[in-house]
Amino acid sequence: MLSANALRELLELVLITRNATSLYTLCEHALKFTGARNAMIADYSVEHGYMTLRAGIGKDWSPDLLGSQINIADDASEGITAYVAATGRTFRSDDVTTERLYRRLIPGTRSEVAAPIRDANARVRGVLNVESDEPAHFGDEAQKNLELLAVIAGIALDREDQGTREDALMQIGTALDEARTQEGLLKRVAMVTQAVLRVSAYSIFLWDEEEQAFTLRDTVGSSTLPPDAQYTAGEGITGWVCQHGEPIRISDPATDPRWRGKYVEVPVEQISSYMAAPIMSGGNCMGCMRAIRKRPANRYIENRFTEDDEQLLLAIADQLGTGLEKLRSLNKLIDRERMAAWGELSAKNSHMIGNRVFALKGDLNELRFLLSETTLDRESIKQIADSLEAGVTRLDAILHEFRDFVTATKLNFVTGDINEVVRSAAKALVPATSNVTIDFDLAPNLPPVILDAEKVERAIAELVENSLHFVDKGRIAVSTRHASIADLVAAKLPTAQGDHLAVTISDEGPGVEEERKKRIFEPYQSSRPRGMGLGLSIVKGIVEAHGGRVFESGEEGKGAKFVILLPVEPDISAMAEQA
């Protein structure tokens, strides 16, 4: 019989380990305490409807057997393991060659014991199987040992599931930190939830103030919900959960008096289990997450949601509520800052345009005076005309730069070659007779990037032109490459946010003073005598509208160095919402 020390060691291992290592150790103990030649563990998942061999060990065991599929049935043709999974009863045979249930997996097997593995909800989760090449090899003690090991195997598989769920909550926590839009957050949460809860269909409804209803915001799986699906408070099970702020878990929703069947992801007769959890924030219900599992084709598979599933959905809903409230608070802050910035920008533009208009009016008054004279002073009139032309040109430049600033975030995405965009932007600004040379170092084989080529070219051209202003003679280096982790950290971008490309423009000019580095991308911070000082703000707007970042990393006295980081595949839907 299994000793107390062996049991303690196994339980300690299971409680610490959350992967297949513990399953292999259990197989080793099964060999030791039953005297078997081979031992193996098969488990199944509700989404597949069959078992797979997860671990095995023994003289005749081959790693090639891992992943082998085993059905769950009491049919004789499916084998002993399938029968045990279907019935939930241990099966022992002194001579498998005489058994109608036996299906040969390992040649030479004569006797076998298979015990069901149950989860914390007492549902059959898999089978622990031992085999011998000797007839009548296993007695009562070996069977009891195997059944005890099967109990521990159930704990091991539950721990593995628990680890998966904890990882899922961590992924959602990361999504909360990285999400910039509600749609992006909902999509990440939905994908993680569907995977960890193994649902057939999943949807999120959120309160819509304008519609005065809880409206569909995201759905995954086999859902056929219309995009305008919505519930009022108290309407159907979804509306009940939203109204009362309480979760619900039922196996046959059509028999529930709250059921209305208004919008159904799958036909109600196909629903095996239905679960919904409220999304709460500050004591108020923001919406509801609901999940559905379809009835499995195999009648032996029990896939109804458990209390653990409900608690997990509640935990996810709680995190989602916190994330949504954080995003909404952030958006309100951004809106306030945006309005304040627009107010400041409008005031400064009005002042600059007002100065131009005042000068034009002065020239017009002077022109009227000269035209009223008996003798026309053509030279003076020409000077005033030149002044008027310069004033109109300056006014047009102000309006043009302001228009570029306003439209910087309005993008038309295409798939393009970043090297072509960079080369085109830089070459157009430097004539062949210039004393300044452009040195290109463009990395080959960069992936195509989704971008607004015209806007990105405008941003790069602005940075090159900025360098040209401070460099009369010398070199401007323009390069492209894959962004490094250090680049992402320097730009304060999440290091797990996907592949980025880096475009660097550096020069041999005076560089940027340290105290100005944090302000150079703000409006009206330019040290150049011409322009409104919106150039670098336009660059920042274009780059960030792509989901990227731009920063200056040069050293004062040794030249400026601007780095643009662009995601290879930006979240276009998120960009559109931010714009």
User: What is the pLDDT of the chain when averaged over all its residues?
Assistant: 83
Asked whether the beta carbons of 239 and 205 are under 8 A apart, the reply is no
Rounded CA gap, 426 and 256, in Å? 68
* Assigned token pair, 69: 């599929």
Least confident of 50-59, 149-158, 387-396: 387-396
Rounded CA gap, 189 and 289, in Å? 10
Q: What is the pTM of this model?
A: 0.60
Rounded CA gap, 451 and 418, in Å? 9
Per-residue pLDDT, 161: 85
H/E segment holding residue 20: helix 20-34
User: Cβ-count burial of 307 within 10 angstroms (0-12 exposed, 13-18 middle, 19+ buried)?
Assistant: exposed
**What band does 114 get if pLDDT is binned at 50, 70 and 90?**
very high
User: Cβ-count burial of 522 within 10 angstroms (0-12 exposed, 13-18 middle, 19+ buried)?
Assistant: middle
Between 180 and 105, the more confident residue is: 105
According to DSSP, residue 59 is labeled S
**Is pLDDT at 96 greater than 90 in this prediction?**
yes
Identify the residue whose tokens are 């910087």: 408
Asked whether the beta carbons of 8 and 152 are under 8 A apart, the reply is no
Strand positions, DSSP E, 298-457: 414-416, 436-442, 449-451
Per-residue pLDDT, 514: 79
- State pLDDT tens for residues 541-577: 888 888 889 998 888 888 899 999 998 887 655 444 4
SS3 91: strand
Between 39 and 195, the more confident residue is: 39
Least confident of 58-62, 295-299, 422-426, 446-450: 295-299
Asked whether the beta carbons of 147 and 100 are under 8 A apart, the reply is no
Q: CA 490 from chain center: how many Å?
A: 21
**What band does 331 get if pLDDT is binned at 50, 70 and 90?**
low
Q: Which residues is 284 bridged to in the sheet?
A: 281
Asked whether the beta carbons of 51 and 81 are under 8 A apart, the reply is yes
Looking at the structure, give the CATH architecture of the domain made up of residues 4-164: 2-Layer Sandwich (3.30)
- The alpha carbon dihedral of 487, 492, 495, 496 has a sign of negative
| Superfamily of chain region 407-578 | Histidine kinase-like ATPase, C-terminal domain (3.30.565.10)
Buried b (16+ CB within 10 A) or exposed e, 310-340: bebbbbbbbbbbebbbebeeebeeeeeeeee
- Phi, psi values for residue 417, rounded to 5°: -100, 115
User: Cβ-count burial of 195 within 10 angstroms (0-12 exposed, 13-18 middle, 19+ buried)?
Assistant: middle
Please name which of 72, 80, 89, 61 lies closest in space to residue 129, comparing C-alpha atoms.
Answer: 80
Cα angle: 291, vertex 69, 36; to 5 degrees:
120
Rounded CA gap, 234 and 217, in Å? 19
4-164 and 177-320: same fold? yes
Per-residue pLDDT, 117: 95
- Phi, psi values for residue 538, rounded to 5°: -65, -45
* Assigned token pair, 310: 């409900």
Asked whether the beta carbons of 510 and 332 are under 8 A apart, the reply is no
Per-residue pLDDT, 556: 84
Asked whether the beta carbons of 487 and 499 are under 8 A apart, the reply is no
CB neighbourhood size of 355 (10 A): 14
Q: CA 481 from chain center: how many Å?
A: 24
Highest mean predicted confidence (pLDDT) among 167-171, 250-254, 489-493: 250-254
CB neighbourhood size of 227 (10 A): 8
| Pairing outcome for strands 51-58 and 69-70 | antiparallel
User: What single-letter amino acid sits at 173?
Assistant: G
Q: From residue 219, how far is each of 206, 225, 292, 316, 367 by CA, in Å?
A: 12, 8, 11, 15, 69
**Is pLDDT at 392 greater than 80 in this prediction?**
no
Contacts of 551 (CB under 8 A, 6+ apart): 490, 491, 562, 563
User: Cβ-count burial of 376 within 10 angstroms (0-12 exposed, 13-18 middle, 19+ buried)?
Assistant: exposed
**What band does 401 get if pLDDT is binned at 50, 70 and 90?**
low
- State pLDDT tens for residues 214-265: 999 988 876 678 888 999 999 999 999 999 999 999 988 889 999 988 888 8
- State pLDDT tens for residues 175-220: 777 777 788 788 888 888 888 888 888 899 999 988 999 999 988 8
SS3 215: strand
Rounded CA gap, 214 and 156, in Å? 41
Domain locations along the chain: 4-164, 177-320, 407-578
CB neighbourhood size of 184 (10 A): 17
**Is pLDDT at 529 greater than 50 in this prediction?**
no
Per-residue pLDDT, 118: 93
Rounded CA gap, 378 and 385, in Å? 10
Contacts of 541 (CB under 8 A, 6+ apart): 405, 408, 409
Least confident of 46-55, 290-299, 391-400, 482-491: 391-400
According to DSSP, residue 524 is labeled T
Identify the residue whose tokens are 């199987």: 129
Please name which of 42, 3, 14 lies closest in space to residue 145, comparing C-alpha atoms.
Answer: 3
Q: What percent of the chain has pLDDT over 90?
A: 32
CB neighbourhood size of 345 (10 A): 18
Rounded CA gap, 70 and 114, in Å? 14
Cα angle: 449, vertex 453, 458; to 5 degrees:
130
Please state the rounded mean pLDDT for residues 356-370: 77
Q: Which fold has domain 177-320?
A: Beta-Lactamase (3.30.450)
Q: From residue 367, how far is each of 358, 364, 370, 379 by CA, in Å?
A: 14, 5, 5, 12
Percentages helix, strand, coil for the chain (3-state, rounded to 5) are 45, 20, 35
**Is pLDDT at 452 greater than 50 in this prediction?**
yes
